Structure 1
């Protein structure tokens, strides 16, 4: 049975210095009109150039080896950069997935030629990655994946579909999980292999999926006789489940897993004014205390990653609890705002912002694994199933 550990980790002084540096950078970007921190949808047209400026500051791939363009800085320093970017609603989507998990996966499992070609370009903020895991009819159950990679001369032919693939329509590459052999009775995890897919290759098509918020960040990705070269195989043939499990520790534990609707809390504080009723003060205090707890858990996982551990179960807990919190936040903010009498009528700005967060809240469970799958991972890690 696994012993859960969320060791108390304090951010060292160098992290506080970095935080001030990031805040100054973001303030300058806001002043230049790159994005509006009160509008989560702003910055989409400037994301690529913003990515290059972040790369120039050394804040992409900052934990990676210097031989591939990284800075060999700590996971705790990377945590600070991520936290400041997310709270500010900075347009990070062009580089974030590559920085968080695709790059580390390539560092561990890709050929040297691929590392030297791809990793420096990620560090410079030039290329965008997506993750191909979920499939129709199997969702977050990765071991039920059926999109097939068949051996051909000098490579593999891929046919099938991935779904809920974030930002695939803007991506240059995907690291995808594909079926290369049938699973066995003894091991249903057998038979999956990871490949690096050029999203501009013939036979790859993206169909954006509309959401209530008007966003189209999710995609259905269809592979029709897509040829993958041999050197784009990532890691062990038929053994990618080990890699995928490790990769998800990076994906599920960061502050992005509980800060997506943070703006609802910020807008609430502004909307209730300087002298809200005691019940509202207590409600906001409770929300802040819960947020602080999530943050401490997430920082602890960052500390484990820095120590070379693979906190898969702890990361799943952060994602599960964080999802529940950020999904409920807009509803709780609405209820607290209703307790404040607005003499001048409704707060239009708050109502508009809250409407957006209410619409995006349902989709956060899809990102990084559904609640049901996460709780299965946690139960298995604790020896309960």
Structure 2
């Protein structure tokens, strides 16, 4: 397979005007410091998510009967792009909007859809994703969390790690093992919708070097999950989760995590910036334009119902490299006389992103995992 990024025109029918989105964000984010806006899709603000839901800007691709507006993926792209560029605190609803809702639409029962999707679209119900496990390394399919059917409930025991915002979420979509008879351990996996308030669940936030705790460990000790909370078909979880990862890896969040730092740098430049700073900004602009075009191409493939797993992995890999390079490159040029940071906000934002950016190549799949997927997809392994 040859990766394909067909050019796409970003003028979606029915999309809110960028001016309207920016006006909403100016009002809601007024007074929020750049270092706080730099957290963006790692920052959880339930009131903001509910305000966004009231505008109809969560789950826009979902059918109207489930709280959406039946809009295209490109409409959603425009909204998300503006949210991330402004540094809006979107983590509360993020995973529900980006992937969990779409997974429910693809695989859930009608009862599950009716129960969860409208509240997700309103910004009131938060989801997290349970994939990675301790000691599984790069092989997700080697997971050991197990579900055993006992009458009308599944009993789940095991653990998950690096689960973003599990401490804030109401539900988790978890990939677990339901059988192990097949020699191929990718078989026998299933997904469940798990109420995180259930007895037997322990959630432990993992504090990072910046003092934040967006990742968590989640432990399941004989947790009872109703049989009707199986998502899709039993034993088909591997195929389902691979479809989910294409949604997770290709969006503008994969290259806009450092965007606030870029804007603050531009605001802090003198009237006569040095050649070094001009070259740095030119490189940032070129990389941003390229990554945006590639990411838009993946959104177009999703709109057509294609499976852009390889392309999404490429966007995620290149995007993480770019996001990490922004703070590193600015740090190297910090003593350049072209930068005037009288209020210290640019330095605070830079300091935060230097510490936070190593996680950018962990969340959503490590660089090594992504390159393995790409290599297999193009026939190199």
Q: Tell me, what secondary structure is at the counterpart of 1:119?
A: helix
1:199 aligns with 2:196: yes
Q: CA deviation at 1:166?
A: 0.2
Q: How far, CA to CA, are the matches of 2:283 and 2:95 in structure 1?
A: 31
Alpha-carbon offset, residue 183 of structure 1:
6.2
State the partner residue of 1:384.
380
Equivalents in 2 of 1:259, 1:41: separation in Å?
A: 10
* Residue 363 (str. 1) matches residue 345 (str. 2): no
Which of 344, 347, 357 is the matching residue for 1:348?
A: 344
Partner of 1:281: 278
Partner of 2:127: 129
CA RMSD of aligned residues (A): 2.0
Aligned partner of residue 157 in structure 2, secondary structure: strand
Distance 1:37 1:345 in 2: 12
Aligned to 2:334: 337
Q: In the alignment, which residue of structure 2 is the partner of 1:221?
A: 218
Is 1:7 paired with 2:3?
A: no
Kept in 2: contact 1:265–1:333 (CA 8 A): no
What's the CA shift string for 1:122-152, capped at 9, x where partnerless?
0111110000000011145321111111111
Distance 1:142 1:46 in 2: 27
Q: Does 1:249 align with 2:246?
A: yes
Query: 2: distance between equivalents of 1:193 and 1:46?
Result: 29
The answer to whether residue 187 in structure 2 is matched with residue 176 in structure 1 is no
Could you tell me which residue of structure 2 aligns to residue 159 of structure 1?
Answer: 157
- Farther-moved stretch of structure 1 (354-363 vs 47-56): 47-56
Alpha-carbon distance, 1:79 to partner = 0.4
- 2:256 is aligned with 1:259: yes
**Cα offsets for 1:186-237 (capped at 9, x unmatched):** x231111000000111111110001011100100000011011111001121
Equivalent-residue separation in structure 2 for 1:321 and 1:345 (angstroms): 30
- TM-score using structure 1 length: 0.94
Q: For 2:291 and 2:238, how far apart are their aligned partners in 1?
A: 28
Contact 1:164/1:366 (<8 A) preserved: no
Distance of 2:307 and 2:44 partners within structure 1: 35
- Structure 2 length as normaliser, TM-score? 0.95
Q: How does 1:31-42 map to 2 (within 5 A)?
A: 31=30, 35-36=32-33, 38-40=35-37
Q: How far apart, CA to CA, are the structure 2 residues paired with 1:181 and 1:39?
A: 45
For structure 2, list consecutive stretches of 5 or more residues without a partner in the other structure.
none
1:69 corresponds in structure 2 to 67
In 1, distance between residues paired with 2:338 and 2:309? 46
Partner of 2:314: 317
